[in-house]
Amino acid sequence: GQQLNQSPQSMFIQEGEDVSMNCTSSSIFNTWLWYKQDPGEGPVLLIALYKAGELTSNGRLTAQFGITRKDSFLNISASIPSDVGIYFCAGPAGGTSYGKLTFGQGTILTVHP
């Protein structure tokens, strides 16, 4: 099936630093979603992207829908301790617009105060 590859697998940064992570696929996606999962909780949607080239911000978070439609990027500026968690990219499988979401394996973010 389709796979989403996230990079890096984990990051250890100091508070205040900026963070960049990405997600790539061998197939075209029509929608890219970025979720964050805190320990013991379900994933929570951060940003949704619907158009190639789209750049969307949510507070200190900025995500981009790659022009090739095979990748997406998430940036976090001026990280704080509560940014700790696992960040997942996701998209609807099979070239559809909705339904079965495929998730990446996640990027684990640790922020040192």
Q: Please say which residue, 56 or 77, places its beta carbon nearer to another protein.
A: 56
Q: CA-to-CA distance for 55 and 45, rounded, in angstroms?
A: 16
Binding track over 5-24 against another protein, x by CB under 8 A: --------------------
Distance CA 66, CA 91 (A): 13
Which one of 13-21, 58-66, 76-84, 101-109 is the stretch in contact with another protein (CB under 8 A)? 101-109
The sign one gets for the Cα dihedral 55, 14, 36, 24 is positive
Question: Does the protein bind another protein through residue 103 (CB under 8 A)?
Answer: yes
Q: Does 85 bind another protein (CB under 8 A)?
A: no
Long-range contact pairs involving 45-53 (C-beta distance under 8 Å, separation at least 24) = 46/74, 46/87, 47/74
Footprint on this chain of another protein (rule: CB under 8 A): 4, 31, 33, 35, 40-45, 48, 88, 90, 92, 97-101, 103-106
